[in-house]
Amino acid sequence: MFKISWKIILILGILLRVIYFLLVPQGQSPDEAFILKRVWANQNNPSTLIYPDSKNFYYPNNEYYYPPLYFVSAYVLTRILPVSQNPDYYSWFLKSVFILRTFSLFLSAITLFVFWKILNEVVSSQTVKLGSFVFISMLPSLATFSISANHNNLVFFLTSMFVYYLLSHRKRVNIRLFVISGGLFGLALLTKFDSIIFLPFVGYLFFAGKKKYNINWRLYLAFVVSFIACGGWWFIGELVKYGWYYNREMFASALSDYVSPFAFLGYSSVVILNAFKTFFATGGVFNNIFLSTKDYLLLFILTTVSFVGCVKLSIVSIRNEKKIHSIYLVFLSSFILNLFMFCYINFYLVFQPQGRYFFSSIVLLSVVWIGGIYSVFPTRLRNLMPLAIVSVFTYLNIMNFDCYARTYHKFNIVATNSVSCGGSYVPVTGIYSD
């Protein structure tokens, strides 16, 4: 009987990303155009790299309030690789976005491998482990987003490295563990604020093995010093400069064009529905390209089955008085912070029901989703479950390919009489102008 291996899944995941790399036109991924505008400003004025502050930067959807690590990396890459120094913005954009997308593709391939290593640390069932890896590798929205020129792919790489290194070395406590973990966490925060949701892992490092491994203040100090050296210094600078850990006025200008919370009837249900849809499959500059209703219905049915399976597992665990392993509580705590951040944005700041905000919790979500389905899958056929999940996600990605082909390239991948997606091409005004 054929059994799929993690290496085949990894190859499939990378192959999907290469196809999306070729299908999605430059500048047609969320925030890509705005990211490139900051990179362009950095090229013209390198003094804006670390603490950008100019009256020209206070505009809707600006990316200048974010920490600088990705933009420093982008500056270096577009400098050392063959991008002409003083071209018009159009030609610079086309060359630079290709370089930065290639960088994202490279990072995402490594990150997939690291995700597999994390799954090896936290999941005992080989079937659930493989199924979870299929979920992560072949999730259409994540595969699409993985080739975008943005800071998210760098932060996914750094946070996955942080989690994997901590988990794989948690039984060999020494100063190296604290120095490297502090450095990786600092670099992740220096890339994007979202990394704060991994704070429970820092707590786990600090407290879980305190008695068992006799952790002393020198190890804590090593972590703090490494963290400040690799990322904390920027936030200290922001605090001194603006009185807060980021430029709040610049952040407010970035949100100025967004819809306010509860601006229309049924707001909460729209947030939930859009978060569900965009988590699984979406595309376009403004997430305006979707799969068909029947495809989302399939995902809803599978998610419902998974939920039923999770309830079943919970009842069995309670009856058998099984304790939850501490590392799962750490992942759960991280997800709760992730959920809080999503709710804070959508119910306090602006309407932004983006499912991609949950990609930081992809390991836990994949294990829960697959674990629920596994618990209700016929016992005799459980070994085939990863292959079944591959089949489902292959179908969804083919439908997604068709969406992009129809929208951007005016040809069909599936039958011409099949309506496989909704949405349209949305040009970004001023994308090729300085």
pTM: 0.93
Domain boundaries, the chain: 6-421
- Mean pLDDT in residue range 101-110: 97
- Mean pLDDT in residue range 56-60: 88
Q: What is the pLDDT of residue 115?
A: 98
Q: What is the pLDDT of residue 216?
A: 79
User: Mean pLDDT, the chain, as a whole number?
Assistant: 90
* Selection from 418, 385, 350 nearest residue 60 by Cα: 350
Q: Could you tell me the two tokens for 37?
A: 């505008």
* Selection from 331, 351, 349 nearest residue 272 by Cα: 351
- Mean pLDDT in residue range 13-35: 93
Which CA distances in Å does 400 have to 272, 282, 370? 21, 8, 22
Q: What is the pLDDT of residue 410?
A: 81
Residues 62, 254 contacting (CB under 8 angstroms): yes
Spatial neighbors of 430 by CB under 8 A, at least 6 apart, are none
pLDDT in tens, 328-358: 999 999 999 999 999 999 999 999 999 999 9
